[in-house]
């Protein structure tokens, strides 16, 4: 069985994230979507809120499990017997960051493959940060995020 771990902060989850997940499910038999709790990052939503939003947003997908971790992603992947870590790439700037991250992950555990999926056309501009900023300025983001995210953003 081919198992992947798809980590991220998902603060909040976007349709870009869900697009990467859909495409990863065509490659892997099971995908763990992992909310990475990075204490260095300042997040808008708690880990629990992000997990809830992801669970609601991924109900239609089979073979997806939503989890969280405060450990290193490659360690979590090994624990779950995942063959790969999936990451999405939007632009050249993402590549530079992900390239360094992949090298560090390979140093930690060379048995875990890094798999990169390019964002689909029309979704490359979406980021959690831009979603939050547009929402704060009353831009209609309903076509960019799952419905559950809209309700959580309104509460914030």
The domain ranges of the chain are: 3-155
128: annotated active-site residue: yes
Residue 49 has what pLDDT? 97
The model's confidence at residue 25, banded by pLDDT at 50, 70 and 90, is: very high
- The answer regarding whether domain 3-155 maps to CATH 3.40.50.720 reads no
Residue 147 has what pLDDT? 96
Residue 116 has what pLDDT? 97
Q: Which residues are within 8 A (CB) of 122 and not within 5 positions of it... i.e. 6 or more apart?
A: none
42: annotated active-site residue: no
Half-sphere exposure of 106 (CA within 13 A, CB side): 9
Determine the Cα–Cα distance for residues 133 and 128; give it in Å rounded to an integer: 9
Choosing from 22, 55, 75, 90, which is the catalytic residue?
90
Q: Give all strands of the β-sheet with 84-89 in edge-to-edge order.
A: 64-69, 30-36, 3-8, 84-89, 113-118
For the stretch 34-73, pLDDT in tens is 999 988 888 999 999 999 999 999 999 999 999 999 999 9
pTM summary value: 0.95
For the stretch 84-136, pLDDT in tens is 999 999 988 788 889 999 999 999 999 999 999 999 998 989 999 999 999 99
Determine the Cα–Cα distance for residues 26 and 37; give it in Å rounded to an integer: 27
Choosing from 9, 17, 76, 119, which is the catalytic residue?
17
Choosing from 9, 57, 119, 128, which is the catalytic residue?
128
Q: Structure tokens of 129?
A: 């940060």
Residue 33 has what pLDDT? 98
90: annotated active-site residue: yes
């Amino acid at each position: 069985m081919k198992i992947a771990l798809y980590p991220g902060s998902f603060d909040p989850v976007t349709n870009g994230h869900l697009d990467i997940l859909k495409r990863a499910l065509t490659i892997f038999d099971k995908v763990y979507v992992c909310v990475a709790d990075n204490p260095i990052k300042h997040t808008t939503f708690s880990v629990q809120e992000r997990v809830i939003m992801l669970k609601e947003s991924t109900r239609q997908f089979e073979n997806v499990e939503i989890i969280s971790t405060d450990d290193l992603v490659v360690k979590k992947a090994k624990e779950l017997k995942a063959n790969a870590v999936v990451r999405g790439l939007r632009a050249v700037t993402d590549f530079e960051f992900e390239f360094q991250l992949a090298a560090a992950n390979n140093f930690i555990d060379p048995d875990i493959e890094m798999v990169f999926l390019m964002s689909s056309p029309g979704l490359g501009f979406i980021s959690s940060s831009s979603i939050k900023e547009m929402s704060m300025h009353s831009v209609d983001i309903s076509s960019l995020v799952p419905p559950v995210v809209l309700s959580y953003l309104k509460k914030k």
